[in-house]
């Protein structure tokens, strides 16, 4: 579906006709582009999801940046700095993609700062040791990739294209995190214990990244129909568990779940019950770091206000000078 | 091995890059706009890359970074100064990247042992210098508040600028010419930014050249404590 067709259709027809064109495009796996007609709920649902995704990249810098100044080797320090830089870049792509739907970055950041829009619950957990940096790379980025690879085929073009680029970099981060944990696991007994402790603390929160169970997921059904989402929360969670079990074995680390075992009949791993009370509690703002994360984000924004104002004032002066010179020449 | 001859020079240049990279890394998650999260991390990474090449010429990069004490570091006092507000960070970047750009430009043009490293680094440093210049203009010629903050930052760091032109064993350069070109370049940027070139001593906290002799300012020890803590807690471990 192209912008031209949609505009022509909009001029000629009613919302019903537009809706038929939109539905047909989605059904045919075509991409919806910014100037195409789309249902208001499709637009608002995408803005919500993309904004939350962008906010997660930005807040997600904090738990890892917490270790930049303490990274134990220069090589690891460089890798971690590059990763945190990539996350800021991902936030920028995603805000740009959200802007194609008519909502500015400033407005989205305001909503993040005022708590009206959320970010991934995972970033409300603290990074207590260096091994947490590896656990985040392996498990958190691993879960993110499982969630995000299907988004590369999402029906909204700008989001799908942003995800292609993001997924490439995320896969790289995940491998680096895995390799960090492997080094610790094979290192001194203290390093091995550090790695195991980090996996123990990050495993369940990572499983929660796939969202509530299918029967409690508010937006799932609609997102699936619109092909914003391609698989259910529980499907993706299962896929992640099945992959992680083998990786944990290769790492020489255990996963903190006594009920985890292979189910021959299902062809999948069964796993224990997730503590959904904890999930909803973190989502409501009562996790270990909710207050700290949002306070730091607000502070960076508020303390940077004078810098942004200076940049605006300077740009206006430059523009005025150019205009004046232009008029003088003319 | 020729590297031994100029270990002093490699350490001086490597420590400058290592320490400034660390300071810029402290900005992660705190920058005034997302674009600056990317830019400051980018500059920090370039500097860390330079530090690793330079320190590796002297010995093991991690032993040098994590196991030397404060008195053994040879960096300029300028680069160890705390970030302060964004204006202080930019003033520090302007002073240092202008120096580094001129220095590496000269080393790249020569046939000394730093020529290859300098040829690669000078392209990165040119970007750092441009970034600092653009922000000096925006802050100096932006609002009243940003002008005031930028002027204050330039003055606060001015005393540390003389040290850049003290001799470093192994770096055979015309220091007077370097200083003259540095002053001309910085003066031109500050003029365009409607800022006043600071006056006053440029001798550093002790005497000019102190950082190069391992005499540092108080914030540096605390920075090293944070940087080295984990590595020192696990002697002999591989990361």
- Chain A environment of B55 (Cβ under 8 Å): 74
- Chain A environment of B37 (Cβ under 8 Å): 61, 84-85, 88
Does the beta carbon of A189 lie under 8 angstroms from any beta carbon of chain B?
no
Q: What are the structure tokens assigned to A307, written together?
A: 């810098």
Does the beta carbon of B84 lie under 8 angstroms from any beta carbon of chain A?
no
Q: What are the structure tokens assigned to A43, written together?
A: 């637009």
Q: Residue A99 CA to chain centroid, in angstroms?
A: 17
Nearest to B138 among A58, A191, A310 (CB): A310
Does the beta carbon of B160 lie under 8 angstroms from any beta carbon of chain A?
no
Q: Per-residue pLDDT tens for A65-87?
A: 999 999 999 999 999 999 999 99
What number of H helices and E strands is found in chain B?
10, 0
Quick one: CA dihedral A97, A120, A308, B39, positive or negative?
negative
Vertex B39 angle, CA B36 and B41, to 5°: 105
Instruction: Report chain B (239 residues): mean pLDDT per 10 consecutive residues.
Output: 69 98 98 97 98 96 98 96 98 98 95 91 97 98 98 96 90 92 98 96 72 93 98 97
**Averaged pLDDT score across all residues of chain A:** 93
Alpha helices in B7-143 (DSSP H): 7-25, 34-58, 61-66, 77-80, 86-109, 115-140
Among residues A172, A174, A244, A252, which one has the least CA distance to residue A207?
A244
- Chain B environment of A71 (Cβ under 8 Å): 230
Q: Has residue A11 got a pLDDT over 70?
A: no
Cβ distance of A314 and B231 shorter than 8 Å: no
Q: Are the C-beta atoms of residues B38 and A91 closer than 8 Å to each other?
A: no
- Chain A environment of B25 (Cβ under 8 Å): 68-69, 77, 81
Does the beta carbon of B49 lie under 8 angstroms from any beta carbon of chain A?
yes
Q: Per-residue pLDDT tens for A163-181?
A: 999 999 999 999 999 999 9
Q: Has residue A43 got a pLDDT over 80?
A: yes
Cβ distance of B237 and A303 shorter than 8 Å: no
* Beta bridge mates, A270: A261
Q: How many CB pairs under 8 A join A and B?
A: 140
Distance from C-alpha of A103 to C-alpha of A111, rounded to nearest angstrom? 11
CA distance A287 to chain B (A): 20
Task: Write down the pLDDT at residue A216.
Answer: 87
Task: Write down the pLDDT at residue B157.
Answer: 96
- Chain A environment of B143 (Cβ under 8 Å): 306, 309-310, 313
Nearest to A296 among B29, B42, B48 (CB): B29
Q: Coil, strand or helix: which one is B114? A: coil
Q: Per-residue pLDDT tens for A19-39?
A: 999 999 999 999 999 999 999
* Mean pLDDT for the stretch of residues A210-236: 89
**Mutation for testing the B interface, residue in A67, A169, A295, A311 having most B CBs under 10 Å:** A311
Least confident range of A237-246, A258-267, B170-179, B196-205: B196-205
Confidence of residue A12 (pLDDT cuts 50, 70, 90): low
Which long-range contacts does A9-17 make (Cβ < 8 Å, 24+ apart)? A9/A37, A10/A37
Task: Write down the pLDDT at residue B201.
Answer: 85
Residue of B nearest to A179 (CA): B239
Residue bearing tokens 């991902």: A90
Confidence of residue A211 (pLDDT cuts 50, 70, 90): very high
Distance from C-alpha of A152 to C-alpha of A163, rounded to nearest angstrom? 5
Look at strands A268-270 and A261-263 and give their pairing.
Answer: antiparallel
Nearest to A78 among B31, B38, B45 (CB): B45
Distance from C-alpha of A310 to C-alpha of B148, rounded to nearest angstrom? 11
Residue bearing tokens 């499709």: A42
Among residues B149, B157, B137, which one has the least CA distance to residue B86?
B149
Task: Write down the pLDDT at residue B16.
Answer: 98
Among residues A62, A19, A51, which one has the least CA distance to residue A297?
A62
Q: Has residue A328 got a pLDDT over 90?
A: no
Cβ distance of A307 and B51 shorter than 8 Å: no
With 0-12 / 13-18 / 19 or more C-beta atoms within 10 angstroms meaning exposed / middle / buried, residue B78 is: buried
Task: Write down the pLDDT at residue B9.
Answer: 95
Q: What are the structure tokens assigned to A13, written together?
A: 């027809």
Q: Are the C-beta atoms of residues B194 and B154 closer than 8 Å to each other?
A: no
Does the beta carbon of A77 lie under 8 angstroms from any beta carbon of chain B?
yes
Nearest to A308 among B28, B32, B52 (CB): B32
Residue of B nearest to A68 (CA): B25
Cβ distance of B48 and A77 shorter than 8 Å: yes
- Chain B environment of A306 (Cβ under 8 Å): 143, 145-146, 149
Q: What are the structure tokens assigned to B45, written together?
A: 């990474």
Distance from C-alpha of A276 to C-alpha of A283, rounded to nearest angstrom? 10
Q: Has residue A274 got a pLDDT over 60?
A: yes
pTM of the model as a whole: 0.94
Among residues B195, B190, B220, which one has the least CA distance to residue B205?
B220
Confidence of residue A3 (pLDDT cuts 50, 70, 90): low
Among residues A236, A132, A247, which one has the least CA distance to residue A184?
A132
Task: Write down the pLDDT at residue A2.
Answer: 52
- Chain A environment of B238 (Cβ under 8 Å): 183, 187
Residue bearing tokens 């914003």: A228
ipTM passes above 0.90: yes
Q: Has residue A40 got a pLDDT over 80?
A: yes
Residue of B nearest to A303 (CA): B32
- Chain A environment of B66 (Cβ under 8 Å): 72-73
- In this structure, chain A runs to a length of 330
Distance from C-alpha of A185 to C-alpha of A251, rounded to nearest angstrom? 7
* Mean pLDDT for the stretch of residues A103-121: 95
- Chain B environment of A130 (Cβ under 8 Å): 230, 239
Q: Are the C-beta atoms of residues A50 and A159 closer than 8 Å to each other?
A: yes
Which long-range contacts does A19-26 make (Cβ < 8 Å, 24+ apart)? A25/A1, A25/A155, A26/A155, A26/A226, A26/A227
Residue bearing tokens 């075509």: A30
Q: Name the DSSP letter for residue A217.
A: -
Distance from C-alpha of A181 to C-alpha of A254, rounded to nearest angstrom? 12
Among residues B185, B164, B182, which one has the least CA distance to residue B20?
B164
Distance from C-alpha of B207 to C-alpha of B203, rounded to nearest angstrom? 5
Q: Has residue A1 got a pLDDT over 60?
A: no
Q: Name the DSSP letter for residue B194.
A: T
Task: Write down the pLDDT at residue B2.
Answer: 43
Cβ distance of B239 and A85 shorter than 8 Å: no
- In this structure, chain B runs to a length of 239
**Mutation for testing the B interface, residue in A297, A307, A316, A321 having most B CBs under 10 Å:** A307
Q: Are the C-beta atoms of residues A137 and A176 closer than 8 Å to each other?
A: yes
Query: A 86-125 residues with CB below 8 A of B?
Result: 88-89, 91-92, 95
* Mean pLDDT for the stretch of residues A309-320: 96
How many Cα atoms occupy the beta-carbon half-sphere of A312 within 13 Å? 7
Q: Are the C-beta atoms of residues A124 and A287 closer than 8 Å to each other?
A: yes
**pLDDT cut 90: percent of chain A above it:** 88
Region for B209 from its dihedrals, namely left if φ exceeds 0, alpha if ψ lies in -120 to 50, beta otherwise: left
Nearest to A313 among B36, B142, B237 (CB): B142
């Amino acid at each position: 579906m192209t912008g031209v067709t949609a505009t022509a259709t909009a001029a000629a027809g009613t919302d019903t006709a537009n809706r038929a064109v939109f539905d047909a495009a989605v059904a045919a796996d075509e991409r919806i582009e910014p100037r195409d007609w789309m249902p208001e709920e499709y637009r608002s649902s995408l803005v919500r999801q993309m904004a939350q995704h962008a906010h997660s990249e930005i807040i997600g810098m904090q738990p890892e940046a917490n270790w930049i100044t303490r990274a134990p080797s220069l090589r690891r320090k460089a890798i971690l700095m590059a990763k945190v830089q990539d996350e800021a870049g991902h936030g920028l792509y995603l805000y740009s993609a959200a802007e194609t739907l008519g909502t500015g970055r400033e407005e989205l950041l305001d909503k993040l700062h005022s708590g009206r829009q959320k970010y991934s619950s995972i970033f409300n957990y603290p990074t207590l040791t260096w091994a947490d940096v590896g656990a985040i790379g392996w498990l958190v980025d691993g879960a993110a990739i499982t969630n995000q690879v299907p988004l590369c085929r999402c029906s909204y073009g700008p989001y799908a294209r942003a995800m292609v680029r993001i997924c490439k970099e995320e896969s790289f981060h995940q491998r680096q995190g895995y390799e960090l944990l492997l080094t610790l696991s094979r290192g001194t007994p203290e390093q091995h214990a550090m790695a195991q402790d980090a996996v123990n603390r990050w495993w369940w929160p990572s499983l929660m990244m796939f969202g509530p169970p299918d029967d409690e997921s508010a937006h799932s059904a609609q997102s699936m129909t619109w092909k914003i989402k391609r698989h259910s929360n529980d499907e993706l969670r299962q896929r992640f568990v099945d992959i992680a079990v083998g990786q944990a074995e290769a790492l020489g680390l255990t996963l903190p779940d006594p009920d985890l075992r292979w189910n021959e009949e299902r062809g999948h791993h069964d796993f224990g019950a997730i503590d959904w009370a904890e999930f909803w509690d973190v989502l409501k703002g009562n996790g270990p770091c909710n207050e700290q994360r949002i306070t730091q984000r607000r502070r960076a924004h508020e303390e940077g206000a004078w810098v942004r104002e200076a940049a605006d004032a300077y740009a206006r002066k430059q523009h005025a000078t150019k205009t004046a010179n232009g008029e003088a020449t003319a | 091995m020729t590297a031994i001859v100029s270990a002093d020079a490699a350490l001086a240049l490597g420590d400058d890059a290592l320490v400034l990279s660390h300071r810029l890394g402290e900005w992660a998650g705190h920058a005034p706009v997302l674009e600056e999260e990317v830019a400051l991390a980018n500059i920090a990474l370039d500097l860390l890359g330079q530090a690793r090449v330079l320190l590796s010429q002297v010995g093991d990069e991690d032993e040098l970074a994590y196991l030397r004490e404060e008195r053994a570091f040879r960096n300029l006092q300028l680069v160890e100064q705390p970030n302060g507000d964004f204006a202080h960070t930019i003033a520090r970047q302007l002073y240092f990247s202008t120096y580094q750009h001129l220095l590496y430009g000269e080393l790249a043009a020569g046939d000394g042992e730093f020529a290859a490293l300098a040829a690669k680094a000078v392209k990165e440093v040119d970007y750092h210098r441009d970034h600092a210049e653009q922000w000096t203009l925006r802050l100096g010629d932006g609002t009243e508040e940003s002008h005031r903050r930028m002027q204050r930052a330039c003055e606060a760091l001015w005393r540390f600028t003389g040290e850049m032109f003290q001799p470093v064993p192994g770096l055979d350069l015309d220091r007077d010419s370097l200083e003259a070109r540095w002053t001309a370049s910085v003066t031109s940027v500050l003029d365009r930014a409607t800022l006043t070139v600071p006056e006053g001593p440029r001798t550093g906290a002790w005497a000019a050249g102190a950082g190069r002799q391992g005499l540092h300012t108080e914030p540096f020890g605390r920075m090293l404590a944070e940087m080295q803590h984990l590595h020192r807690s696990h002697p002999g471990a591989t990361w």
